[in-house]
Amino acid sequence: MAKKEELKAQILELTREYYKEVHAQKKEFEPGKSFVHYGGRFFNDEEMVNLVDSSLDFWLTQGPWTHKFERRLADWLGVKFCAVTNSGSSANLLAFYTLTSHKLGDRRIKKGDEVITVAAGFPTTVTPIIQYGAIPVFVDVALPGFDIDVNQLEAAYSPKTKAVMMAHSLGNPFNLKAVLAFCEKHNLWLIEDNCDALGSEYTIDGVTKKTGTWGHIGTSSFYPPHHMTMGEGGAVYTNDPLLNKITLSFRDWGRDCWCASGVDNTCRMRFTGQFGELPQGYDHKYVYSHFGFNLKITDMQAAVGCAQLDKLDQIVAARRANYQMLYDGLKDVPGLILPVAEANSNPSWFGFLIAVKEDAGFTRNELTGYLEQNKIQTRNLFAGNLTKHPCFDEMRQTGEGYRIVGELKNTDFVMTNGFWIGVFPGMTKEMNQWMIKCIREFCIKHTK
């Protein structure tokens, strides 16, 4: 045992040296020559040491590191339960399918039921709704927050409405007070897609909580450009023990058993229970109460996540500071609409969303083309208007499978005129200044 620990200590020390030699060396930023990426990995030797440490244990699937990460993330968020999964998209899938469970009785979402959402976002917020056979109802967004126009919620409601599911756009919380009141009035579920907003805060009646924890279920993504990374990874979290139990079932093949990996007979009725039409005493570890999936992560990913959690407060603070620097440097630039934080919120920004006014004298593509030429990465607001994409071709032709409230004018405006640049912690003051300089020069030169 002593030899094992000695060898491990040597390996981990060499890992730290490798990080310092290979990853810690930063090249000096050269405006116009160095790339300004919209996002990227933010890590040091601790992530690599944890990764190697967990690999030496060779647990491979979820195990001790996973359980540690789930407990710590739940504590950081201020919720009771957290289930880690292999991506943010899988987290959205699990969150939605959780609400389809027969264990929820009359409140379960059934095929043909409606779910209110927005089209201006990432497709996997909406994909689970369609995959299950429910009906997404698309509502427009409001400017300059680029989140749902809550004035359209009542128009979107019908007797078939069962839930609201949408994201906090690029970290800017939607109007949670209005949405929660609407959901309470009509007894609807609320899923907060928190994949772009880890660390954002919202205050209602003097109570401040993190986004993702106000609704019934919240989700996160740990893909590299996000607030924290596991490479691939995501999480579903809730304060409801029944919802958590259902989520774990769907994540783990749909099984009825809730034993952790490597643990047997937590329920103390492994060979004594009666389930469905199975024989009395059928092994509970192989009883399935849902048509589920296998969406678990590896323990190695969770080990990286544990090191990332140590930096999460620092990451959130850096994103807020970068947003503020960009906003202060661009707020007087003609032709642009800049992102403004929702009232009663403190966003943990994922990106800095800019929209070019229709009478600016230049287009979004002209501005982004100029920025890309100057080595500044830009990204559109994901799908822009999801209903315009080829995946909706068949549904558009039949006029079935979804519903639109109004004309989605602002959604189309964002699709045509909106883009965003990065605020991730790897941004330096010089990078921010270069982005500000390029945007200012172009806009001032081309404004009518």
Which residue numbers are catalytic? Answer: 226
> Contact 348/320 with Cβ under 8 angstroms?
yes
Q: Residue 304 has which token pair? A: 């990286």
Residue 288, phi then psi, degrees to nearest 5: -120, 120
Residues 190 and 182: their CA atoms lie apart, in Å, by 10
CB atoms within 10 A of CB 256: 17
> Contact 402/138 with Cβ under 8 angstroms?
yes
> Contact 84/69 with Cβ under 8 angstroms?
yes
Nearest to 402 by CA among 174, 190, 119: 119
Residues 232 and 248: their CA atoms lie apart, in Å, by 19
Measured CA distances, 434 to 322, 344, 376, 388, 424 (Å): 13, 31, 9, 34, 15
Residues 384 and 53: their CA atoms lie apart, in Å, by 42
Torsion angle of the four alpha carbons 196, 198, 199, 205, in this order, in degrees rounded to the nearest 10: 80
Q: Which residues contact 15 (CB under 8 A, 6 or more apart)?
A: 45, 48, 49, 52
Q: Residue 291 has which token pair? A: 């048509």
Question: Residue 136's Cα: distance from chain center in Å?
Answer: 19
Q: Residue 28 has which token pair? A: 């000096």
Partners of residue 117 on adjacent β-strands: 138
Residues 378 and 382: their CA atoms lie apart, in Å, by 11
Measured CA distances, 241 to 62, 82, 247, 267, 269 (Å): 21, 10, 10, 15, 20
Residues 298 and 232: their CA atoms lie apart, in Å, by 10
Partners of residue 138 on adjacent β-strands: 117, 404
Residues 32 and 432: their CA atoms lie apart, in Å, by 13
- Which amino acid is present at 351? G
Q: Greatest CA span in the chain, whole angstroms? A: 79
Q: Residue 80 has which token pair? A: 């009771």
